[in-house]
Every structure is written in C-alpha cells, then in structure tokens.
Amino acid sequence: MRKLLFVCCLLLAANSYAQPTPRQLFPGLFEAVQLGRVFPDNKTFVDAVPLQPPRVILAAWQQQKGNPGFRLEQFIQTYFRLPEESAATYRSNVAAGLRLHLDTLWTVLQRPAQRTAEPYSSLLPLPKAYVVPGGRFREVYYWDSYFTMLGLQQAGRTALVRSMTDNFAYLINRYGFIPNGNRTYYLTRSQPPFFALMVQLLAQAQSDTVLRRYQPALLREHAYWMAGADSLSSGKATRRVVRLPGGELLNRYWDDSTEPREESYVEDVEAARQSKQPAPQFYRNIRAAAASGWDFSTRWFGPENTLASIRTTELAPVDLNCLLLTLEETIARTYAVQGKRQTARQWEQKVRQRRQAIQLYCWNPTVGWFTDYDLVQRRPAAIRTLAGVFPLAFDVATPQQARQVGAGLQRDFLKDGGLLTTLTASGQQWDAPNAWAPLQYIAVQGLARTGQQALADTVTSRWVRLNARVFQQTGKLLEKYNVVDTHLPAGGGEYPLQDGFGWTNGVLLKFLDSKK
C-alpha cells in the first residue's frame, strides 16, 4: 500500500503542471471551429477566452447546433471573448521619426505581470512584465525575446530585460523548460535556446553576479535538451538528443506531440493528406520545425522539396548546436565566478566536445559552408542556409572556414536589402526572397567576430536602409522583409505579414546605435 501511495504521488507530481489545451477543453467544438474555418486564422480560436465553463459551453453547443439558422461564428462570439491584435489601436507618427517610433513601441507591445491564469484561457501567466512581438503574436515568444531585449538594452530599459529573463527562469522552474510561447498549446516544445544569451546580456549591465543567480535555471534547461543522452548508444536518437557514429552528442528539434498544431490545425490536417509519411510522423516533423522557429523552409524538406516531405527530426541543426554550446559555456562561467574551477573545467570540456562535433559533422567542405547534419544519410546536408553563420558568431569556425562562409555570403546571399535566408524561392516564409532580423544580427556578429567588418557594415547598412524606407512609406516595422525586390512585401507563411514587431525593433535599434 505504501509503495502504491508513493507511485500515485509521483504521478500527481508529474502531471501537476499539465494544463488542458483548447482542443482538450472543447472536444468536437474545437474541430468544428477550426476545420470549418470560422476564423481566417486558426490562432484566433485558441487564443479566445471562454466566458463560461467548458461543460456549459459544450452542452449549449450540443443543444443548439442542430437548430435551424444556427451560426457557429455567432455562437463562438457569444460564449468566448475574441482576442485583439497587440497594436490594433496604435498609429505611428512617421513625421516624428524612426527612433521615437521604436521607443513608443516598447510601451505598446509591453504586457503587465499576470500571476494567476484567467479560467480556461490558453494564456499561461507570467509573474513579471514582458514584451510581445505584435500582430497575431499576443504572447511572449522564446527566441524572439532575445532580439527584442537587445533593443530594450539599447533603450536603457534594463529593468524590463531583467523582468523578461526572470519570466523565462520562472517558466523553466515551472515546466522544466521554456515553451515556444506562454500558451498551453505550446507546452510540448521549446524554441532555439537563447536563455543563456539573455543571461549574458543582463550580466553585461549588472555584473557577473547575474550568472550565479540564474545558474539553476541554466542547468535545468541544459538537462531538458540532454534528457536521455547518458543511456543512448551510437547512431541512436531520443527526443532532442542524438549520439553520432563516433559517440559524440548533438541535438535536434523535437515536439512531444504527434497531433496537428492547435494554432494551425486546418493547415496541418490538409498538409498531412499530401504527405507519404504516417500522420503522427508528419505532425511531429511539422511541430519540430515550429520548435526551430524556421516554420517553414526547404531547409527541413526531403528531395521532393515540398512541405509534405518535411523531415526536421532527421537533422541535427548547426545553429541549435551552436546555441547549446554557448549554454554550456555560460554554465562553465557560472561555476568559475563562484571559484568552483574543477566543475567549470568539466563544463569547458563539454564545450570542447561540442565544438569538435560541430566541426566534424556540420562543416561541408564540398560547398564551403556549415550545414545541418543529416542523421539518416550520415553526412552534412547539401543545402546552404543563413544558419551557417552561427559557427562564426559562436567561435566554432576556423579563420579559413570563416573566410569561405564570408565569400559565400557576399557572392550568393547578399542582396539589396540584406541577407537571404536560403537560396531557394519556394513560397515558404523562411526561404528566398525573405529575410529576418535575427539572422541579420547573428550574421553581422559572426562577420565582425571573424575580422570581416566591411561585409558586416554592408549588411547592417542595407538592412537599416530597407527598414527605414518601409517605415517611411507605411509607418510600420515588419516581421520579415523581401530583400531581393525591396519594393515588394515579404510573402509566404500560414498567416498575413505581421507588423509590430519585437525582434525587428530590437535589431534595428542595435544596428542604428552601432552606426553612431
């Protein structure tokens, strides 16, 4: 009996953080709304707040749906509070200039602390203030936030940088990892692990004592990414970690669910019908690509080069592993500042091992580029993407490799408005002709770090000029830009082009200040 009680307690503890998603709360109704395209954007319904308990709403739906003249959209508007766009009521004053616009947006996009969840809402509460990207993105997003925080730091809003870092530490402590965003439907995956860089950013402003304060959260995030590694044999993978043929460890993107994404439900269901993969496998690959932040790109596709051929979990991404390298470096520093040199050296050894593994498996000498490692084909992937600049920014590339990547950027990726994401025009938003602020920033950092300052300055100038011109014409800063034909908007993706926009604002302000 005592043993049974102990097991029950463990199960309760394991499920204590489980929070139902909209699909779990409203079975049947959820599918009717999403597959019936009641709203143009599937994210609308999952962000809506129920005005009655789910059992009451479901009973009313069952009772009313067969009535003559029943309209599902009207029913939802009666029983749910629909979301508003983050900056729907804000209008910029173009004549006042770009810097004032940026400074005002921090306030427009800021959200207050929310210590308790609204009943049955998908929004997860956060104990301190934070900044959202804007548009349909009404919650905090993990990797977006680092680039937003770059701008907050430049604007002298260090207190908000600390609040956001504290929020991410809270999420790690609460859920064991940082979710894609603070929504229940994101609790099955993370995003590119930029938490260590957030801690580094804060340490620049508030000294190395910051490193000690966030050490437990840094260690727990590392444990999340490396879970299962110790028992993994060569050539095998489990969840987010893979052991390569030589025994080295690298990581991949993963989502614990094999169901369609609730926020893009109809898109996933329809795409799965076009795929030769079993539906659960396809959904996991789609979700893993969402975890990467690159949703979607030919980077993740099979030889057919279509979304139906997506195979994200079969790749060890070069940028992800560079980010985990800096996480391990940061953990080593947390021990070094405490005088625990032996433990620091153990973590420094992990850094050396990962750096060697990235070199061994992700450098593709045939194309002179750092690419993802194909776990199935057991060779570096052939496709070159802007993710190949991460080894320059994180001290992995040799000087010769850095020069080769720089030459490739100059020759193939550099366009009138900045650097392409990939060289393939597929119609996906993380492909040509589109470009994104976070990748421009990492590329500029990598080029500057490897002595290629002239090219870094060129990228910076072209990106700033494009951002500024679009702002003068529209009064907006956008989620992504077309850098080939800079007079046309960026396209692709599952939703319309969004304005706001957190990471664009942050990188732009950082670039503007670097040109002073």
419 touches 386 (CB < 8 A): yes
Residue 1: both structure tokens together: 């009996």
Q: pLDDT category, 92, cuts 50, 70, 90?
A: confident
Decide if 133 is inside a domain.
no
8 A C-beta contact, residue 194 and residue 323: yes
Asked if residue 427 is part of any domain, the answer here is yes
- pLDDT higher than 60, residue 470: yes
pTM of the model: 0.95
438 found inside a domain = yes
The neighbouring-strand residues paired with 137 are: 134
Q: Can you tell me the distance from the alpha carbon of 489 to that of 459, in angstroms, rounded to the nearest whole number?
A: 19
pLDDT digits (tens, 9 = 90+) for 436-455: 999 999 999 999 999 999 99
**Residue 219 placed within a domain:** no
- Of 81, 100, 130, the one marking the end of a domain is 81
Band (85; pLDDT cuts 50, 70, 90): low
Residue 30 is assigned to a structural domain of this protein: yes
Does residue 4 surpass a pLDDT of 50?
no
% pLDDT > 90, the chain: 92
Asked whether the bond before 370 is cis by omega within 30 degrees of 0, the reply is no
Consecutive H or E run containing 483: none
| Confidence at residue 152, expressed as pLDDT on a 0 to 100 scale | 98
* Residue 502, domain member (yes or no): yes
Give the Cα separation of 114 and 125 in Å (integer): 5
Q: What is the extent of the structural domain holding 43? A: 19-81
Strands ordered across the beta sheet of 379-380: 315-316, 373-374, 379-380
141 phi/psi in degrees, rounded to 5:
-120, 145
Number of C-beta neighbours around residue 248 at 10 A: 16
* pLDDT for 88: 54
Q: Give the pLDDT confidence score for residue 144 in this predicted structure.
A: 98
Q: d(Cα 123, Cα 137) in Å, to the nearest integer?
A: 12
Helix/strand/coil (H/E/C) assignment for every residue in 369-405: EECCEECCCCEECCCCEHHHHHHHHCCCCCHHHHHHH
355 in a domain, yes or no? Answer: no
pLDDT digits (tens, 9 = 90+) for 323-363: 999 999 999 999 999 999 999 999 999 999 999 999 999 99
- The confidence band for 477, taking pLDDT boundaries of 50, 70 and 90, is very high
Mapping DSSP onto H, E and C, the string for 54-103 reads HHHHHHHHHHHCCCCCCCHHHHHHHHEECCCCCCCCCCCCHHHCHHHHHH
Which residues are CB-neighbours of 39 under 8 A, at least 6 positions away? 33, 45, 73
In a domain, 436, yes or no: yes
pLDDT for the residue numbered 89: 60
* Residue 185 per-residue DSSP state: G
Q: Taking CA 32 as the corner, what is the angle to CA 31 and CA 34, rounded to the nearest 5 degrees? A: 65
Q: Is there a catalytic annotation at residue 479?
A: yes
Q: Facing residues of 482 across strands?
A: 434
What is the identity of the amino acid at 257? S
- Annotated active-site residue 494? The verdict is no
Catalytic residue among 139, 268, 295, 348: 295
Q: Residue 44, CB half-sphere, CA atoms under 13 Å: how many?
A: 18
**Active-site position among 47, 221, 372, 479:** 479
Query: H-type helices in 293-398, by residue range?
Result: 318-336, 341-362, 390-393
Choice among 15-24, 266-275, 464-473 with the minimum mean pLDDT: 15-24
Last residue of a domain, one of 56, 81, 106: 81
What the block records as the tokens of 455 is 């090219």
Contact call for residues 83 and 44 (beta carbons, < 8 A): yes
> What is the biggest distance separating any 2 CA atoms in the chain, rounded to whole angstroms?
75
- pLDDT greater than 80 at residue 17: no
pLDDT for the residue numbered 15: 40
User: Where does the pLDDT of residue 84 fall: very low under 50, low under 70, confident under 90, or very high at 90 and above?
Assistant: confident
Number of domains in the chain: 2
pLDDT (0 to 100) of residue 90: 75
Q: Give, for 131, the enclosing helix (H) or strand (E).
A: strand 130-131
End-to-end CA distance of the chain, in Å? 71
Could you say which of 81, 98, 113 is where a domain stops? 81
Around Cβ 237, how many Cβ atoms within 10 Å? Answer: 19
